[in-house]
Amino acid sequence: MLQFETLPPSFATLLQTLGPCFTAPTFRTFAVLVAGMIAQPGRHTVTGMLTAAGLAGVWHHAKAHWFFSRARWCADALGMAVLAVIVEQLLPADAAMLIAVDDTLFRRSGRKVYATGWWHDGAATSKRRDATGWGNRWVIAAVVLWLPFTDRPVALPVAFALCTKTGPTPQVLAGRLVTRIAAAYPHRQIDVVADAWYASAAGPAGATVGKTRQRAFPPGVTLTSRLRANACLNAIAQPIPGARGRPRRIGTRLGKPADLAATATFTPTTVRRYGRTDTIHIAQITRLWYGAYRSQAIRVILIRDPDSKTSTGYDLALVTTDLTSHPEHIVARYAARWSIEVMIEDAKQTTGVGQARNRTPTAVTRTVPFGLITQSLTVCWYTLHGHHPDLATQRRAAAPGTPPKPNPPTTT
């Protein structure tokens, strides 16, 4: 039977840093469920966590369900406590904090499950462009780190927001998550990366209509995303000497990214991305994307591979509110966004996030964050106490014929 005292001392110490988020009895239940979720090889339901912890038949299953549905604790506060551990233990004091934002669908069944609906499912195997699924849609913010035992960045989820059909849009929710993180670390530079869906999330409210007008990013926080191919770009308006009336807010229309690529000057640049070093051609232009950012200057970075035969003149167009960093750093920063896609897949396929079958509002809004936080805690513990260079050698010796992997798995 698993008890808190039988947990590895290093892991128990890590969990104890989160103790202030709970009452003493609730913290004990939390520790047991975290250990049970890590140890469960099968379905990661609430009772499955109890079974893996060795408490099936010892604790009534209502105690575990009560933890998610009625106990006094806050998933947002718990995520910020995990973020504090990550910042203090894994992030250098003078380093900028890189936050990756994305949303994903956790499929559910049943009309009575809270906040379910038909949402776009980016992981759907259907070839239709409008592939959808029934379930809960979550917006996730994760800290991106470069850990010593892996040659690729790793995303650790720390903030979460549940989408509803009548509530704020995912862009607005992403802005709230970033604002929460920035408020906790006002003196640290924060850079955000996201896919094209969030490319305009840092724009002013006047550039949107409806519920998206509530979007906002804190001052000083940068956003880097992929620029849409149909984005209309303009030159920065220049003041006209002696002109009367309000100054112009928008300059000459320059067209779409393909139009910029036709006249842009590309420079060969070496970039470290996706675990390898590549030579690519980069062109950068500071312009206005008036439809999304109004008169705020943004930087467009066009990327083209040396052997590319693209008809548009570029392979990838990035847009960023960071006007000072070197373009190769912007490209590498955006490439690190892929870590949140890997994290989401690991969460669903390995950690078992989203497999719990609860349906009440409080339980639904807590269970997915709990699973994602468990994944972050697992990576934190392995980085601080579990990893040793000889482990991979010993594992290969015990299982001859196993193909070598450049990176150890970062989930359970």
Task: Give residues with Cβ within 8 angstroms of 289, minimum separation 6.
Answer: 200, 227, 231, 232, 233, 234, 298, 319
Q: Are residues 59 and 199 in the same domain?
A: no
What is the pLDDT, as a whole number, of residue 412? 41
Which of the pair, 407 or 35, is modelled with greater confidence?
A: 35
What is the pLDDT, as a whole number, of residue 283? 98
Lowest mean pLDDT among 213-227, 234-248, 256-270, 333-347: 234-248
Q: Are residues 110 and 124 in the same domain?
A: yes
φ/ψ bin of 346: left (φ > 0), alpha (ψ from -120 to 50), beta (otherwise)? alpha
Which of 26, 57, 73 corresponds to the end of one domain?
73
Q: Are residues 378 and 253 in the same domain?
A: no
Assess if residue 257 is contained within a domain: yes
User: What whole-number distance in Å separates Cα of residue 119 and Cα of residue 134?
Assistant: 6
What is the pLDDT, as a whole number, of residue 5? 60
Q: What is the pLDDT of residues 330-379, one digit of tens each?
A: 999 999 999 999 999 999 999 999 999 999 999 999 999 999 999 999 99
Assess if residue 394 is contained within a domain: no
Q: Are residues 37 and 132 in the same domain?
A: no
CB-CB contact of 331 with 322 (8 Å): no
Q: What is the pLDDT of residues 65-111, one digit of tens each?
A: 999 999 999 999 999 999 999 999 999 999 999 999 999 999 999 98
Answer yes or no: is pLDDT of 125 > 70: no
Assess if residue 97 is contained within a domain: yes
Assess if residue 80 is contained within a domain: yes
Q: Are residues 9 and 100 in the same domain?
A: no
Q: Are residues 156 and 271 in the same domain?
A: no
Which of the pair, 129 or 312, is modelled with greater confidence?
A: 312
Which residue stretches of 241-298 are H helix?
257-263, 290-293
**Buried-exposed string 32-65: b where 16+ CB fall within 10 A, e elsewhere:** bbbbbbbebeeebbbbbbbbbbbbbeeeebebbb
Q: For residue 137, give Cα distances in angstroms to 15, 163, 290.
A: 28, 5, 30
Q: What is the pLDDT of residues 167-180, one digit of tens each?
A: 999 999 999 999 99
Q: What is the pLDDT of residues 282-317, one digit of tens each?
A: 999 999 999 899 989 999 999 999 988 899 999 999
Map tokens 């090889």 to a residue. Answer: 41
- At 394, the pLDDT band (50, 70, 90 cuts) reads confident
| Mean pLDDT of all residues in 229-236 | 96
Which of the pair, 309 or 223, is modelled with greater confidence?
A: 223
Take residue 234 and report the two structure tokens written for it.
Answer: 């303009």
Domain containing 288 equals 227-238+246-327
- At 128, the pLDDT band (50, 70, 90 cuts) reads low
Task: Give residues with Cβ within 8 angstroms of 128, minimum separation 6.
Answer: none
Which of the pair, 212 or 322, is modelled with greater confidence?
A: 322
Q: Are residues 166 and 82 in the same domain?
A: yes
The overall average pLDDT reported for the chain is: 91
Which of 56, 73, 90 corresponds to the end of one domain?
73
Contacts 24+ apart (CB under 8 A), 304-309: 304/261, 304/266, 304/280, 305/280, 305/281, 306/268, 306/279, 306/280, 306/281
Q: Are residues 2 and 69 in the same domain?
A: yes
Q: Are residues 114 and 144 in the same domain?
A: yes
Which of 58, 73, 88 corresponds to the end of one domain?
73
Assess if residue 332 is contained within a domain: no
What is the pLDDT, as a whole number, of residue 210? 66
Assess if residue 9 is contained within a domain: yes
Q: Are residues 81 and 189 in the same domain?
A: yes
Q: Are residues 108 and 58 in the same domain?
A: no
Assess if residue 392 is contained within a domain: no
What is the pLDDT, as a whole number, of residue 229? 95
Number of separate domains in the chain: 3
Assess if residue 118 is contained within a domain: yes
Q: Are residues 82 and 200 in the same domain?
A: yes
